[in-house]
Chains A and B, each alone.
Chain A
């Protein structure tokens, strides 16, 4: 896991649910690559095409609420979002995100201070997010979870550990 990285902000609101992240009708598509074009389709259909690798999603409370569909974090990982920084997450989404190599950080203030298009810089070694001159603290993520994110998720991490 890179200890420090920068990214452009896409700002989403509170209660971004899993049906918004990937609507039911696209779940039968064969691959995650096919599905990722429809990320956030009901809310902002143009967004998936605009997201570039390394971009950061900043959101309000309860990100990922709703169903247990793992395609939701999977497509965000496939869009190469470098991390999500939200006020809080729904619990099933939280587990699913780390299991799929998607880094989630939690901070209550950043959302209200940043604008879409801002550059923020994430420093994992001291658990800070920087926006211009301002810094925001995020809860530190245990090393083994960061290693899991770096490996691409739980299954690749287990295979790597087992030498398969």
Chain B
């Protein structure tokens, strides 16, 4: 009986030849990362409660300030200061304001086959490169940062076989919203979501990350795509050559297999207040918006910015709507500048923000008020996620957000793209 790629990664990390779902393993962690959402808590536990002195390996512990940057209050400035001092003391990689943590990890650290633990739920993004990333809380993280190990249960794997190709105006973002809408917010609870099939083999790393990143919104422990030449080229172009290419055996056991055909997919919208409450854009009816947001670890990369720019080029956004755009990292920002996308955004009336979690995190930028409606490329639309408890968040692709910002109501982007 064969193994899935997720099982193979966990077997390697725990020094075993074979692991099976349900088995509890102690695994060695290749990388761990924490951001300013909770790192101050880790440092408290590490220094004051565990009275630990050293991190397990200073090259493998990464701190990234991305949730409230630049700081909007003295309290968050204090959190950042605490991280900066700890990072200097322990000589670990430290980033502040350079991008959303997962995008930085993908650009600068992750390679196929790794096990990565981070104190953030969207750590499952690294499956886009064929690495097993999963999120934990700050207590588990502190233990990992100290020992380099974690106990994990080996999950069952669900397979998603994707064929066909996207119609103009439809993107990986629409596919993952469609899948979560179908299987539900706990449809993959505890499991691995493995995305494959002829369509995914042609996906760029950006699109693979879009799928894996939102696996947690279906409850999954991680999302994975088999690493191939596209993944290898991505990491080797960034100077990383040492990797393990794990793929699933032909006789691997999946709990269930789902089939999707991209030819049949339309732009999708998750309506308030659950990520799995998903409808096609043609069923949405008249929904007026107050703000649009393009960015986040799910949808702030160059391809999404290009899709938005294609729609916004030469046009002006609705005068009563704000459109906020935050490239996911410094590298994405520079690429967008070089391609002239930032000019298009600014001329259309959008506000271009520094790379950070921004509106998706609902605390430091673009917080919305009572009764307001946001359409966002962020990861979640929970009640109050973007500000006032009585506000609404709709999730959609960057193209749908851009088209909606032009008209002031949720709009099918297919009328705007060729």
Chain B residues closer than 8 Å to A73, beta-carbon distance: 137
Q: Is A11 an interface residue (CB 8 A)?
A: no
Bitwise, A130-164 to B at CB < 8 A (1) or not (0) is: 00000000000000000000000111101100001
Ranked nearest first, the 5 interchain pairs of A and B with the lowest CB-CB distance are A42-B384, A96-B137, A70-B137, A42-B389, A62-B186
Q: Please judge, given known A-B contacts A19-B385, A24-B362, whether A95 and B140 are in contact too, CB under 8 Å.
A: yes
Bitwise, A92-105 to B at CB < 8 A (1) or not (0) is: 10011001100000
Chain A residues closer than 8 Å to B138, beta-carbon distance: 70
Is A68 within 8 A of B186, CB to CB? no
Stretch in contact with the other chain, from B44-52, B243-251, B301-309: B44-52
What is the CA–CA distance of A150 and B45 in the complex, to the nearest angstrom?
Answer: 19
What is the CA–CA distance of A158 and B51 in the complex, to the nearest angstrom?
Answer: 12
What is the CA–CA distance of A153 and B41 in the complex, to the nearest angstrom?
Answer: 14
Chain A residues closer than 8 Å to B219, beta-carbon distance: 62, 65, 90-91
In chain A, residues 11-70, which have Cβ atoms closer than 8 Å to a Cβ of chain B? 15, 17, 19-20, 23-25, 27-30, 41-43, 45, 61-62, 65-70
Is B51 within 8 A of A164, CB to CB? yes
Is B73 within 8 A of A68, CB to CB? no
A148 smallest CB distance to B (angstroms): 11
Q: Is A88 an interface residue (CB 8 A)?
A: yes
Is A41 within 8 A of B120, CB to CB? no
B190 smallest CB distance to A (angstroms): 5
Q: Please judge, given known A-B contacts A23-B389, A42-B389, whether A68 and B38 are in contact too, CB under 8 Å.
A: yes
Q: Please judge, given known A-B contacts A24-B363, A42-B384, whether A69 and B189 are in contact too, CB under 8 Å.
A: no
Is B362 within 8 A of A25, CB to CB? yes
Q: Is B165 an interface residue (CB 8 A)?
A: no
What is the CA–CA distance of A73 and B221 in the complex, to the nearest angstrom?
Answer: 19
Chain B residues closer than 8 Å to A62, beta-carbon distance: 185-186, 189, 219
Q: Please judge, given known A-B contacts A28-B75, A155-B45, whether A17 and B119 are in contact too, CB under 8 Å.
A: no
Query: Which of A23, A68, A155, A159 makes the CB contact (< 8 A) with B120?
Result: A68
Is B389 within 8 A of A153, CB to CB? no
26 pairs, A vs B, C-beta closer than 8 Å: A15-B186, A19-B362, A19-B383, A20-B382, A23-B389, A24-B363, A24-B385, A25-B362, A25-B367, A27-B37, A28-B75, A28-B363, A65-B185, A66-B121, A68-B38, A69-B37, A69-B137, A71-B38, A71-B41, A88-B189, A90-B189, A92-B135, A99-B139, A100-B139, A155-B139, A159-B50
What is the CA–CA distance of A62 and B50 in the complex, to the nearest angstrom?
Answer: 32
Q: Is B345 an interface residue (CB 8 A)?
A: no
Q: Please judge, given known A-B contacts A65-B186, A91-B221, whether A28 and B73 are in contact too, CB under 8 Å.
A: yes
What is the CA–CA distance of A159 and B380 in the complex, to the nearest angstrom?
Answer: 37
Interface residues in A, total, Cβ within 8 A: 40
> Which has the most chain A C-beta neighbours within 10 Å: B68, B186, B190, B362?
B186
Chain B residues closer than 8 Å to A29, beta-carbon distance: 75
Chain B residues closer than 8 Å to A100, beta-carbon distance: 139
Q: Is B279 an interface residue (CB 8 A)?
A: no
Of all chain A residues, the one with the shortest Cβ separation from B363 is: A24
Contacts A17-B382, A19-B362 given; 11 further ones with Cβ under 8 A? Answer: A20-B383, A24-B362, A27-B363, A43-B383, A61-B186, A69-B37, A70-B41, A71-B38, A88-B189, A154-B140, A155-B139
Chain B residues closer than 8 Å to A92, beta-carbon distance: 121, 135-137, 216
B121 smallest CB distance to A (angstroms): 5
Q: Is B79 an interface residue (CB 8 A)?
A: yes
A98 smallest CB distance to B (angstroms): 9
Query: Which of B185, B186, B367, B384 makes the CB contact (< 8 A) with A41?
Result: B384
Query: Which of A15, A23, A88, A99 makes the CB contact (< 8 A) with B137?
Result: A99
Chain A residues closer than 8 Å to B382, beta-carbon distance: 17, 19-20, 42, 66
What is the CA–CA distance of A15 and B120 in the complex, to the nearest angstrom?
Answer: 19
Is B75 within 8 A of A15, CB to CB? no
Q: Is B394 an interface residue (CB 8 A)?
A: no
B71 smallest CB distance to A (angstroms): 10
B220 smallest CB distance to A (angstroms): 9
What is the CA–CA distance of A94 and B231 in the complex, to the nearest angstrom?
Answer: 33
Of all chain A residues, the one with the shortest Cβ separation from B219 is: A90
Chain A residues closer than 8 Å to B37, beta-carbon distance: 27, 67-69
What is the CA–CA distance of A77 and B119 in the complex, to the nearest angstrom?
Answer: 20
Query: Which of A20, A68, A90, A158 makes the CB contact (< 8 A) with B50?
Result: A158
What is the CA–CA distance of A27 and B362 in the complex, to the nearest angstrom?
Answer: 11
What is the CA–CA distance of A99 and B142 in the complex, to the nearest angstrom?
Answer: 11
What is the CA–CA distance of A23 and B119 in the complex, to the nearest angstrom?
Answer: 17
